[in-house]
């Protein structure tokens, strides 16, 4: 936990235990939680902690094996074939040449496997729920033995298993087969104490009383049933924005001016203005008066 804190990530014991186990059991960690609670950050911090490379694979609808694993550099291959046209090489020689490492474009997964020669990297597979199920199934194969076969080259196996962090925003359910291979952890919104510590750690130079005020405000805002409750990343954004504006305390005007830093839907902003900010009592509570 302390090591995580030194890497500027405030974790509770539950997460620290999970990461420790992931390292020891060589199992991927599957992180779920609302957007903005710091899932992606875990991967980034892990790589900092272990002093290894971070390889990030951002998932999206339509992501396929070619984009995640490797691809042949077809234009370059074509060009090469053209150049060889007048040469004396026969077809087999050309084939061998153009399917060599020179023409291979390494994508994150292959990169992670190749990099494990020296030190196991951290592989962050971000927002797996955005990818298609067929990609998820393909991932299973890679995650189970970190071995891939490129027909033209052969099988490449990772020397050490990368530490894998998979994140999901729950826009769809991820298949059991994938979850079974992972340690599961749900990251919740932080407690007051934790969020305060996050602010103090991540925004050096922030006044402690101001940090306390912002934290109290955000904790209170999270009790409202907004369409998108503000996460920790919103707290940090807001804190950063306020510091840039050289504010060191919250008042009625500055909150209204900077609402967009932590509320991301027009409905929520309208609701905040009409139901909360219009009421003097509530305003006072939010500002900690």
Partner 1 sequence: MTSEQTTLAGEVIRFAGFLKGRGFRVFQSSVHDALRSLEEISLEEKGDFFHSLRTNLTATDLEWVQFENLFDQFWGRAGRDQEAAAEDRRQDPKTGPPPSVTEDQFLPDAPADASTLTDSDDNRQWLEGIAYSPVSMVRKKDLGRFNQGDIPMAELALRQMMAPFKIQPSRRTKRGRSAGNLDFPAIIRKCLKTGGTPFEIFYKEKKKRLKRLVILADVSGSMDRYARFVMPFLLGLRGIGSRAEVFVFSTSLTRVTFLIRHLSVEKALARIADEVPDWSGGTRIGYSLHQFNQKYGDFLLSRRTAVVLLSDGWDLGGKDLLMREMAFLSRKAHAVIWLNPLAGDPAYEPLCRGMKTALPYVDYFLPADSLQSLKRVIRLLSRVMGH
Measured over all CA atoms, what is the biggest interatomic distance in the chain, rounded to whole angstroms? 87
Residue nearer to partner 1 on the CB measure, 137 or 278: 137
Instruction: Return all residues near 56 (Cβ < 8 A) that are at least 6 apart.
Output: 43, 108, 124, 126
Give the residue, chosen from 2, 51, 154, 176, that forms a contact with partner 1 under the rule CB under 8 A: 176
Give the residue, chosen from 225, 246, 280, 289, that forms a contact with partner 1 under the rule CB under 8 A: 225
Give the residue, chosen from 185, 202, 216, 264, that forms a contact with partner 1 under the rule CB under 8 A: 185
Structural contact between residues 78 and 110, judged by C-beta atoms closer than 8 angstroms: no
- At closest approach, how far in Å is the CB of 157 from partner 1? 21
Does position 5 interact with partner 1 (CB under 8 A)? The reply is no
Strands 147-150 and 154-157 come out as antiparallel
- At closest approach, how far in Å is the CB of 78 from partner 1? 7
The whole-angstrom separation of Cα 86 and Cα 109 is 37
Instruction: Return all residues near 129 (Cβ < 8 A) that are at least 6 apart.
Output: 59, 168, 169, 170, 171, 172, 173, 174
Q: Given the structure tokens 């999970």, which residue do they identify?
A: 18
Does position 193 interact with partner 1 (CB under 8 A)? The reply is yes
Question: What's the first-to-final CA gap in the chain, in angstroms?
Answer: 34
Instruction: Return all residues near 123 (Cβ < 8 A) that are at least 6 apart.
Output: 55, 57, 108, 109, 112, 162, 163, 164, 165
- At closest approach, how far in Å is the CB of 28 from partner 1? 12
Q: Hey, how many other C-beta atoms are within 10 angstroms of the C-beta on 130?
A: 17
- At closest approach, how far in Å is the CB of 152 from partner 1? 11
Segment 67-86, which members bind partner 1 (CB under 8 A)? 72, 74-75, 77-78, 81-82, 84-85
Residue nearer to partner 1 on the CB measure, 64 or 118: 64
Give the residue, chosen from 5, 97, 183, 276, that forms a contact with partner 1 under the rule CB under 8 A: 183
Give the residue, chosen from 6, 58, 62, 252, that forms a contact with partner 1 under the rule CB under 8 A: 62
x/- map, 155-174, partner 1, by CB under 8 A: ---------------xxxx-
- At closest approach, how far in Å is the CB of 19 from partner 1? 10
Residue nearer to partner 1 on the CB measure, 85 or 101: 85
Segment 249-288, which members bind partner 1 (CB under 8 A)? none
Instruction: Return all residues near 148 (Cβ < 8 A) that are at least 6 apart.
Output: 69, 70, 109, 110, 113, 142, 155, 156
Phi/psi region, residue 131 (left: phi>0; alpha: psi -120 to 50; beta: rest), is beta
The whole-angstrom separation of Cα 121 and Cα 114 is 10
Does position 133 interact with partner 1 (CB under 8 A)? The reply is yes
Segment 86-105, which members bind partner 1 (CB under 8 A)? 91, 94-95
Q: Note the residues at the interface with partner 1 (CB under 8 A).
A: 13-14, 17-18, 20-21, 24-25, 27, 30, 32, 61-62, 64, 72, 74-75, 77-78, 81-82, 84-85, 91, 94-95, 132-134, 170-173, 175-176, 179-180, 183-186, 193, 225, 227-228
């Amino acid at each position: 936990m302390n090591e995580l804190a030194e890497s500027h990530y405030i974790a509770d014991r539950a997460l620290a235990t999970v990461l420790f186990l992931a390292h020891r059991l060589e199992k991927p960690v599957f992180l779920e939680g609302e957007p903005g609670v710091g899932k992606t950050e875990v991967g980034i911090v892990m790589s900092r902690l272990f002093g290894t490379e971070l390889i990030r694979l951002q998932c999206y609808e339509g992501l396929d094996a070619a984009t995640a694993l490797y691809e042949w550099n077809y234009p370059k291959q074509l060009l090469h074939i053209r150049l060889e046209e007048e040469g004396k090489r026969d077809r087999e020689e050309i084939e061998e040449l153009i399917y060599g490492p020179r023409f291979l474009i390494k994508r994150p997964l292959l990169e992670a496997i190749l990099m494990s020669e020296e030190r196991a990297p951290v592989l962050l597979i971000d927002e797996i729920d955005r990818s298609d199920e067929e990609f998820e199934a393909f991932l299973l194969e890679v995650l189970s033995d970190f071995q891939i076969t490129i027909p033209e080259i052969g099988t490449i196996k990772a020397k050490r298993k990368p530490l894998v962090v998979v994140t999901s925003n729950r826009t769809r359910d991820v298949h059991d087969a994938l979850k079974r291979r992972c340690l599961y952890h749900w990251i919740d919104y932080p407690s007051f104490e934790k969020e305060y510590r996050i602010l103090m750690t991540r925004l050096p130079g922030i006044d402690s009383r101001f940090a306390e005020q912002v934290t109290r405000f955000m904790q209170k805002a999270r009790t409202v049933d907004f369409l998108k409750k503000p996460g920790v990343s919103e707290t940090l954004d807001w804190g950063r924005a306020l510091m840039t504006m050289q504010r060191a305390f919250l008042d009625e005007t500055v909150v209204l001016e900077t609402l967009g830093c932590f509320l991301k839907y027009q409905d929520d902003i309208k609701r905040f203005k009409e139901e909360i900010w219009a009421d003097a009592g509530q305003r006072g509570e939010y500002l900690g008066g």
